[in-house]
Amino acid sequence: MGLLSGYTDSQLVDLLSKDDRLAFTELYNRYWDKLFTVAANKLDKDLESAEELVQDLFMNLWRRRKDLRIKGCFSSYLATAMKYKVIDTRLKKKRWQEYKARSAPLIDTSTEEQLRFHELQRRLELVVQDLPERARLIYTLSRESGYTHKQIGDRLSISNKTVEAHLSRIIKLIRTKLGSMLHTLFF
């Protein structure tokens, strides 16, 4: 039995507001087990989280001891405070699980998608290298250098329509040669 075990909760809270460590210890010893049991049951037997919640509740109680104004029963105050801590913890766990569920596939597939993209780039370079010289030049000026059809036509002394026709044939050839890989990468 503690020195203050005969005191009522409200007497202990009054002493607590005057920085009485023994009053705090008595309240701690009086309610720790009950609060821990409630928290553990509400958190599906997550004992570590339950212990953290109870410790946090008592730390807050000590920090707020000077401003503590409890209307009614102290045990009801603690029960309500624990209820809100449990609700908050369950929401945080739920959000964390939802976040992990959403982000895990992104993390796992991003590496795979990068590898497929690099493989696609490598194969595209091989297809472009196999093009006839003039077609390769038109493709390179258009897709890699960013020239417009008019700029390519002026540079190679051909019409815009000829540039468009070449690019159309080149893109069809690329789609044919890389078709299955494009489908896998993007769908």
CATH architecture of 9-99: Orthogonal Bundle (1.10)
Count of alpha carbons within 13 angstroms of residue 11, beta-carbon side: 7
Which parts of the chain fold into alpha helices (H)?
9-16, 21-42, 47-63, 74-129, 133-139, 149-156, 160-186
Question: Is the per-residue pLDDT at 148 higher than 50?
Answer: yes
DSSP labels for 68-119?
----S-HHHHHHHHHHHHHHHHHHHHHHHHHHHHHHHHHHHHHHHHHHHHHH
Tokens of 3: 């020195």
Per-residue model confidence as pLDDT tens digits over 29-74:
999 999 999 999 998 888 999 999 999 999 999 999 998 888 889 9
Question: Is the per-residue pLDDT at 118 higher than 70?
Answer: yes
User: What 3-state DSSP class applies to 187?
Assistant: coil
Question: Which sequence spans correspond to the domains of the chain?
Answer: 9-99, 131-186
Same fold across 9-99 and 131-186: no
Per-residue model confidence as pLDDT tens digits over 152-163:
999 899 998 999
Would you tell me which CATH number, out of the four given (1.10.287, 1.10.10, 3.40.190, 1.20.120), belongs to the domain 131-186? 1.10.10
